[in-house]
Chains A and B, each alone.
Chain A
Amino acid sequence: MELLTVLFGNLMTITLRQLVMWIIGSILIYLAIKKDMEPSLLLPIGFGAIICNIPSSGAINQVINGVTEIGILDVLFKAGIANELLPLLLFIGIGAMIDFGPLLTNPKLLLFGAAAQFGIFFTLSMAVLFGFDLNDAASIAIIGAADGPTSIFVANYFNSNYLGAIIVAAYSYMALVPIVQPPVIRLITTKEERKIRMEYKPKEVPQVVKILFPIIVTIIAGVIAPRSVALIGFLMFGNLIRECGVLSRFSLGAQNELVNIVTLLLGITIAARMQAASFLSPATLLILCLGLVAFVFDTIGGVIFAKVLNLFVKDKFNPMIGACGISAFPMSSRVIHKMGLKEDSQNFLLMHTVGVNVGGQIASVVAGGLIISLVGALI
């Protein structure tokens, strides 16, 4: 009888909350496989959510008979996320993937990236209004960076209680960019504005400029927002490896093997913070809503900035490209390019949207650093 209890006793300890987490985990896996929504992250996160919500799961730390048994997910969390190692390593790979060429041919596009970070700061204020303390509000606001590693880095820096919910929201909304952005853009632009054509003048960017760019970005961003040096530095280090022309083996390794391994570990490790007790709360729902607010106001910020610029320039910008400053690279640029084609089948915005999108990638990292600096100074 005692052995039977050992075998099946755990069945009786399953709680309703844990069952709900299994369902949430299964939904994430379904979305990853069936809907192709950020599968490289949502699938490991979904599976991790299931394994860390099995009663007395050996995958996470458990106190059994007064003795703490160490779980592998907590070990990975401590080794890879608590010290910000994995998000930073991922940034080397992302940096190696990004071609800043379209941005360098038209550097004005950088400014759209800046405008489209408005949602981050707006959401910070909204989160405080809804009762979150400044630490958590800053961590929630950074969902608007539309950039997973930055969200993890900032939320972890502020030791947020809602890390799991924040990361799930960040990656979910990044995958939902094709659903979130178009209606917002249509709401604040006219059909004529969406039809504005933008000429693309291809220019050759000297290799030396491509090499100097990551170094200069790191120095300038680092001097103004020193807390962003790790983030921007690793991103630009990856890009320098790509552009230097003598480390192609490293560049390929960073773009493929490094990104794959780190993403795999990152997803399942984040799930360690998706235990039912902390994840299933009204705060999680509120965080999901605030994440949406961040994405919507990022989009509005970028589009309105383009409309304001159009009042002063001769060659008008298609205001839709402002929305790509949200980061979410390269999804957002593809979405806006397709929207442009839908309005006018001869309107090819892709190079402009890619330029704004990579500018947004830089701006979102700088925004992360600024949030850490500004909020960090107040707490």
Chain B
Amino acid sequence: MHLNVEGFLQTLPIMGYGMIGIFAVMLMLYLVIVILLKIFVKHKEESK
């Protein structure tokens, strides 16, 4: 079986950028949820 080592090395940046991309999206979502919870839970407590 022929192993495409050159192709393998070329895909490593995709691995890096892919993982960075996913963490970036998830981190943003995390921050947005934290902010939303801060705003609306506080708002709910105040109205109570």
A residues near B, CB below 8 A?
104, 107-108, 110-111, 113-115, 117-118, 120-122, 124-126, 128-131, 134, 137, 203-206, 208-209, 212-213, 216-217, 220-221, 224-225, 359, 362-363, 366-367, 370-371, 374-375, 378
Q: Which residues of A contact B2 (CB under 8 A)?
A: 131
The answer to whether A110 touches B29 (Cβ under 8 A) is yes
> What 0/1 readout, one digit per residue, does chain B (14-48) give for beta carbons within 8 Å of chain A?
11011101111111111011101100110110000
Which of A111, A203, A209 is within 8 Å of B30, CB to CB? Answer: A111
Shortest C-beta distance, A71 to chain B (Å), equals 35
Contact pick for A375, options B4, B14, B33, B37, CB 8 Å: B14
- B26 near A206 with CB under 8 A, answer no
Would you call A129 and B5 a contact (CB within 8 A)? yes
Chain B residue with minimal CB distance to A100?
B33
Listed A/B pairs (22) with beta-carbon separation below 8 Å: A107-B34, A110-B26, A110-B33, A114-B19, A118-B19, A121-B18, A125-B14, A131-B3, A134-B11, A204-B41, A206-B37, A209-B40, A212-B36, A217-B29, A362-B29, A363-B22, A363-B26, A366-B22, A370-B22, A374-B18, A375-B14, A378-B14
Given A134-B11, A209-B40, decide whether A370 and B18 contact each other with a Cβ distance below 8 A.
yes
Please give 14 more A-B residue pairs, beta carbons under 8 A apart, in addition to A107-B30, A124-B18, A128-B8.
Answer: A107-B34, A114-B22, A114-B25, A120-B18, A121-B14, A124-B14, A126-B8, A134-B11, A204-B41, A209-B33, A366-B25, A366-B26, A370-B17, A370-B21
Cβ contact within 8 Å between B33 and A208: no
Residues in B neighbouring A118, C-beta threshold 8 A: 19
Q: Which residues of B contact A (CB under 8 A)?
A: 1-5, 7-8, 10-12, 14-15, 17-19, 21-30, 32-34, 36-37, 40-41, 43-44
The 5 closest A-B pairs by CB, nearest first: A121-B15, A129-B8, A107-B33, A114-B26, A206-B40
Instruction: Give Cα A113–Cα B29 distance, bound, in whole angstroms.
Output: 12
**B23 CB, nearest partner CB in chain A, Å:** 5
Compute the total of residue contacts between A and B using a CB distance below 8 Å.
118
Q: Tell me if A125 and B11 are in contact (CB < 8 A).
A: yes
Q: Is the CB of A117 within 8 A of B19?
A: yes
Residues of B within 8 A of A367 (CB): 18, 22
B8 A206 Cβ-Cβ under 8 A: no
Instruction: List A contacts of B26 (CB < 8 A).
Output: 110-111, 113-114, 359, 362-363, 366
- Whether A137 pairs with B25 at a CB distance below 8 angstroms is no
Which residues of B sit under 8 angstroms from A209, Cβ to Cβ? 33, 36-37, 40
Which residues of chain B have C-beta atoms less than 8 A from A115's C-beta?
23
B40-A121 in contact (CB<8A): no
Question: Are A124's CB and B36's CB within 8 A?
Answer: no
Q: Which of B4, B25, B44 is in CB contact (< 8 Å) with A131?
A: B4
What is the chain A residue whose CB lies nearest that of B44? Answer: A206
Most buried by B among A108, A216, A370: A370
Is B36 touching A220 in the complex (CB atoms < 8 A)?
A: no
Bound: A131/B6 CA distance, A: 11
